[in-house]
Amino acid sequence: MHRSPYGIVKNGQKHKKLRGVHDQNFAFMVMAPIEKFHKYYRGIRETSMDLRRNKAALKEACDAIHETQMMPAMRGRLQMDSSAYLADSFTGLLAHATLSTKQWEEFYWPYLEEYIDMLEENNMSMLLYCEDQVMRFAEYFQKYKKGTLTMIIELDDMAELRKKLPNVCLCGGMTSELLSNGTPEQCVDRVKYLADTLGDGWILSQDKMVSFPNDCRRENLLAVSEYVQNFRW
Amino acid sequence: MIDLAKLEEAMGELDEETMVEILNQVMAEGGADAQAAMDACQRGMDQVGTYFEQAEYYVSDLIYAGELMTQAVDILKDALITGEGGETKTQMILCMVAGDLHDIGKNIVRAMLEASGFDVIDLGIDTPVEAIVNKVKETGVKIVALSGVLTLAIDSMKATVDALKEAGLRDQVKVIIGGAPVNENYCKIVGADAWATNAQITVRYCKEWSEA
């Protein structure tokens, strides 16, 4: 374990030594400052109030977090060896799901853009966990070269998103609805459809975190696993 | 003289300062215009809904709009209680189903429903199936709105609909499910009458049902 500007996080390298495996697929976390207000400081409701009642103060606070915490941390992280990970960095998008486009452009994108720009300039990558939908902001991510961004998708239509973001590796597509209520055949058909539709630049994953016993039937998971095990392009 | 058009516009534009100023003026003048002011706020909320459909506003704006409506009711409540009042409201039940505590979406829906004239019985979060069934029996409501964010909410929604059937109440109520995991297929699995992923759609269904 080590302390980062974002709190105590597990060190993947140490885990690898201790347990022989990585339990993280990214080397370090970054976060648009407003996410901190959503997740930790104020909550979704109060941040929504602040966006109207204390907009200037909120913006000032976001700028301060960006300059004093995020950017120094980013500069430090750019030097680290993260070659053992799927992605160099990780960010979780939650606040975007509540923001209007205008608010996104003022409170979210300028910060995130700066982080991704820095990563791309250094040939590094970012894994983005996109809660809810990210489609309405897809155009902002179109400028990045292939290999920079991987998005874990929850509610977006993967095929439509692929059309808008041919440059981004998409992760998801297997619905928990199908895993929990479909048949093994239906689940395998879904994998075939996803492979045909999304092809290269796609990672098979469930759409939501499978957290509860009824989120997935054993036989469905086995059928998908077997198909994937034997899958060849 | 109360400028109701200005009040309606202030609500629609989420201009808190102007809205509060006009509502305080209503009360300073004795509260006779309280119901008219409330109606103006509700029309303003309709404009908020339109802005949401046009993607001008998003979820955080709806949360803020809900806060403004609550504030408006707070300011006017004494005059509304003693005044003539408006037309009879349709009573309905709204809650987070068993196992689910994520109530931000529910609270937005509640604010929008109340702004549309519904008397919402909010049973809160993590609501046991029996509590919903008992409240339907007790009140005789015709609409039940079940909200959930987690995937486990689907099971609780289904359990609720099944319990309403068992209690012989299913035919007297319309059930709408809402929240991140719901879709048309889940609506069928649950046995609900409708599904929604935003407040506007929920309000539209509830209005249709209350007017039928």
Which strand ranges, in their side-by-side order, compose the sheet holding B118-122?
B118-122, B90-96, B143-147, B174-178, B194-196
Q: A34 vs chain B: nearest CA distance in angstroms?
A: 13
B58, B71, B195: which to substitute to probe chain A, counting the most A Cβ within 10 Å?
B58
What is d(CA B204, CA B207) in angstroms, rounded to the nearest whole number? 5
What is the model's pLDDT at position A145?
Answer: 97
Residue numbers of chain B with a pLDDT score lower than 50: 85
Locate the chain B residue with the closest alpha carbon to A104: B58
Please write the tens of the pLDDT for every residue from B137-150.
999 999 999 999 99
Give B 109-148 residues with CB within 8 A of chain A. Answer: none
What is the model's pLDDT at position B84?
Answer: 52
* Cβ contact, residue pair A103, B60, below 8 Å: yes
Cβ atoms of B96 and B147 within 8 Å: the answer is yes
3-state secondary structure of B63: helix
Locate the chain A residue with the closest alpha carbon to B185: A177
Please write the tens of the pLDDT for every residue from A41-67.
999 999 999 999 999 999 999 999 999
Per-residue pLDDT 10s for chain A (233 aa) are: 333 333 333 444 444 444 444 456 888 999 999 999 999 999 999 999 999 999 999 999 999 999 999 999 999 998 888 888 889 999 999 999 999 999 999 999 999 999 999 999 999 999 999 999 999 999 999 999 999 999 999 999 999 999 999 999 999 999 999 999 999 999 999 999 999 999 889 999 999 888 888 889 999 999 999 999 998 87
What's the Cα-to-Cα distance from B97 to each of A73, A200, B6, B66, B149, rounded to whole Å? 41, 40, 39, 21, 9
Q: A215 vs chain B: nearest CA distance in angstroms?
A: 7
Q: Kindly report the pTM of this predicted structure.
A: 0.85
What is d(CA A22, CA A158) in angstroms, rounded to the nearest whole number? 28
What is the model's pLDDT at position A94?
Answer: 95
CB atoms under 10 Å from CB of B88, counted, come to 8
The number of C-beta contacts closer than 8 angstroms across A and B is 66
What is the model's pLDDT at position A24?
Answer: 66
A34, A35, A44, A48: which to substitute to probe chain B, counting the most B Cβ within 10 Å?
A48
Cβ atoms of B2 and B29 within 8 Å: the answer is yes
What is the model's pLDDT at position A81?
Answer: 84
Amino acid at B170: R
* Cβ contact, residue pair A44, B63, below 8 Å: yes
Which residue in B56, B64, B180 is closest to A48 by CB distance? B64
What is the model's pLDDT at position A15?
Answer: 44
Q: Write down the ipTM of this complex.
A: 0.84
